[in-house]
Chain A
Amino acid sequence: MAAPDQIQSNVEESIKGAEEACAEDPASGECVAAWDEVEELSAAASHARDKQKVSDPLETYCKDNPETDECRTYDN
């Protein structure tokens, strides 16, 4: 599942930018900073993706309150 469109296109753009910056001079500060930006945006995209995942309200509630009636589980 890909991240929301805006963040996703940011990642794509930053990768293109990094490849361009490094094509000129792979040892330059610009090249390194560009890839660092890619890393930062990729991490942000990953978090956004995780946020999108629908969380079940019952699961969340039962995590904190396993002893309540609706959350009790029986193994046999």
Chain B
Amino acid sequence: MAICTPLNSSTYSSIIPQQNHHDAAVSFARRACWRATSSHRPRRGFTVITCASSDAGTVVIGLAADSGCGAAEPPKGGNPDSNTLISDTTTVICLDDYHSLDRTGRKEKGVTALDPKANDFDLMYDQVKALKSGVAVEKPIYNHVTGLLDPAEVIKPPKILVIEGLHPMFDERVRKLLDFSIYLDISNEVKFAWKIQRDMAERGHSLESIKASIEARKPDFDAYIDPQKQYADAVIEVLPTTLIPDDNEGKVLRVRLIMKEGVKFFNPVYLFDEGSTISWIPCGRKLTCSYPGIKFTYGPDTYFGQEVSVLEMDGQFDRLDELIYVESHLSNLSTKFYGEVTQQMLKHADFPGSNNGTGLFQTIVGLKIRDLFEQLVASKAKSPVEAKA
């Protein structure tokens, strides 16, 4: 028996997709929000009866990336400094909220935000555990503008909880709570190119300062953040393209979707023949592509000693028909209808990466998460559910 509470539709916030160039992790989280919500939003003025997630439990997704969380559009009348994104089925928590040291504190101690010493993993574990079991929490807010820790906000347990930030898979206890985890692995060259694009307009920044900032953070990044990728169920690796010699602008990308085998409720996407090795250039007689074209590879591999399947896309989409052509040749996409991947990508055509592998794979992973959620709900419905007092 599920516990249902009537909630006014005004408690639902609408998400307005923000453009955060180069915060690929944020754009993924927003795609995940869109993907995970049903196509029906409660209409204004209606009272919506919602069931607390205690019937199926909350599905927890971890998303790791080296970028601060985007400034979310807060709930109407809510805290404008909140980092939390809320839609009807999904809540995205920014793990910066679990900083134990604020900006001044970190400066005094001489530690970066990447250092575990600056983060309260006990609190992170307690709160994620509480939300997963259907209990609301009072979560601190880290204010990215002031660098201070603001008073806590109440977070209610959602159907899907995404924890996004630097350390979702760092603490073993938190790792065990995750139903699915993703690591966004940006290569150094691409990271440098993106940061140049992001920061060159900023007064005070120069090529040297951008480079110095990346290099100063690298030791902590390599020690604390990068090792998390071995635990991820899916890794999205972003590399420079091989199609254009000496391309260092980071505009055309080679993106690899590394999918762990044997993860419950997760069936890796494949090309043509599952488990075989394929190299595919869709451009030819049936499909005309513009320079530099598109190249796909797919095959089994090992990643940190684990069996994985890797789907790789190098190049970019120029037209709608290229997208749909590619989609029609991929299998195990977990789409509900033909063309759903293309539709989702077109819907977010203004998001960065919508014309290359980053957008494509983020979209696919979003669909996989939806599929995982539905399978989990179905499996829990089959087993007897205890009535909660």
Contact = CB atoms under 8 A, between A and B. Distances in A.
Give the interface centre of B70, B144, B204 by most chain A CB atoms within 10 Å. B204
Interface of A is mostly: helix
Interface string B103-145: 1001101111110000000000000000000000000000011
A43 B114 contact: no
Among A43, A50, A51, find the residue whose CB has the most chain B CB atoms closer than 10 A.
A43
Nearest to A32: B216
Given A2-B202, A43-B23, A38 B110 contact: no
A20 interface: no
Contacts, number: 117
A40 B203 contact: no
Given A36-B112, A42-B198, A18 B68 contact: no
Interface in B138-194: 144-145, 147
B96 to A, nearest CB: 9
B107 A33 contact: yes
Interface residues of B, number: 40
B110 A50 contact: no
B71 A36 contact: no
B277 to A, nearest CB: 39
Given A18-B213, A35-B216, A47-B20, A11 B68 contact: no
B110 A36 contact: no
B110 A32 contact: yes
B21 A50 contact: yes
A66 B144 CA distance: 35
B216 A36 contact: yes
Contact of B19 (A8, A40, A53, A63): A53
A1 interface: yes
Nearest to A63: B347
Given A32-B111, A38-B213, A53-B19, 12 more contacts: A8-B203, A32-B216, A35-B213, A36-B114, A36-B217, A37-B107, A40-B68, A42-B198, A46-B20, A46-B21, A47-B20, A63-B17
24 contacts: A8-B204, A13-B204, A15-B204, A22-B212, A32-B112, A32-B216, A32-B220, A33-B110, A33-B112, A35-B212, A36-B213, A36-B217, A37-B107, A42-B198, A42-B202, A42-B213, A43-B68, A46-B23, A46-B198, A47-B144, A50-B18, A51-B71, A53-B19, A60-B16
